[in-house]
Structure 1
């Protein structure tokens, strides 16, 4: 799958609509772990927020500065903090935060010239393009979306 700007934008739009649809879940569905030892839907959705914020603040405007981009923050720590926050806040707040930051990411993505989609840049020693970078992010989104869909479909039978 080679990603271009249009398919990335379509994914971001779909993800916003899909997360918005989660407002219809019961509180039990929203807070139940997707499997033993795994996060709940609430925690999964909440963990997208700091990563989208990181992309917006630390990566998106720095992609073509001819110097390596900063490494990502501590994954475990950032995910743990977002999961803890999700356990304390209302579903509407978690969903609202996701929609707000993903909408901003969508808007900023729309501003990127299509020609930039194949321009290489570095993260550490790894050379990427926007196409390959967003492909990884979307694969991650889809993995979690499938987990949630699967657990909801088995709960609702």
Structure 2
């Protein structure tokens, strides 16, 4: 995994979200598919995970502990509630962008050894899908793939 390209990809997604300012409020708040969340919900969801990385995961790694991730469903539910709390599209996009850039700046300031340090994730040492040892860099790569998944969902609505 290339450190610079991984962080750069993470940053590129943040820049891409600027196109979402042009969406109508209806498109912003409409489910992307029946039974799915809205684009607003997706952006709030991504912001929540960025905040978790900044406020929980990175400090834990710096203290020599493993990474901890919450129950996904309840964690994501809080993000969806925030997206529907009355926050404006521009405000949520601004918060997402600001928080993502703070995270990226933090990652860029970290030593390569810190980013590549093998740590556990919820007590598990290796990714069950790939067998790769967990590290913050590995998680950022996973989050980049997660961004791509959501970008494709959003693009399918925009087409």
The two structures have a TM-score, normalised by structure 2, of: 0.86
User: Once the 2 structures are TM-superposed, how far is the Cα of residue 81 of structure 1 from its aligned partner?
Assistant: 1.6
User: Once the 2 structures are TM-superposed, how far is the Cα of residue 64 of structure 1 from its aligned partner?
Assistant: 4.7
What's 1:36 paired with? 34
Q: Does 1:130 align with 2:128?
A: no
What's 1:76 paired with? 73
SS in 1 for 2:31: coil
For residues 144 and 5 of structure 2, the distance between their equivalents in structure 1, rounded to whole angstroms, comes to 10
For residues 35 and 75 of structure 1, the distance between their equivalents in structure 2, rounded to whole angstroms, comes to 20
What's 2:153 paired with? 147
Gaps of 5+ in 1: none
Gaps of 5+ in 2: 126-133
User: Once the 2 structures are TM-superposed, how far is the Cα of residue 31 of structure 1 from its aligned partner?
Assistant: 1.5
For residues 38 and 139 of structure 1, the distance between their equivalents in structure 2, rounded to whole angstroms, comes to 19
Q: Does 1:65 align with 2:63?
A: yes
User: Once the 2 structures are TM-superposed, how far is the Cα of residue 119 of structure 1 from its aligned partner?
Assistant: 2.2
For residues 115 and 78 of structure 1, the distance between their equivalents in structure 2, rounded to whole angstroms, comes to 29
Contact 2:69–2:122 (CA under 8 A) maintained in structure 1: no
SS in 1 for 2:61: coil
For residues 94 and 107 of structure 2, the distance between their equivalents in structure 1, rounded to whole angstroms, comes to 20
For residues 82 and 66 of structure 2, the distance between their equivalents in structure 1, rounded to whole angstroms, comes to 31
User: Once the 2 structures are TM-superposed, how far is the Cα of residue 137 of structure 1 from its aligned partner?
Assistant: 1.0
Would you identify which runs of 4 or more consecutive aligned residues in structure 1 move more than 6 Å? none
For the aligned residue pairs, the C-alpha RMSD in angstroms reads 1.6
Aligned residues between the structures: 150
What's 2:128 paired with? none
For residues 37 and 107 of structure 1, the distance between their equivalents in structure 2, rounded to whole angstroms, comes to 36
For residues 131 and 12 of structure 1, the distance between their equivalents in structure 2, rounded to whole angstroms, comes to 11
What's 1:119 paired with? 117
For residues 29 and 96 of structure 1, the distance between their equivalents in structure 2, rounded to whole angstroms, comes to 18
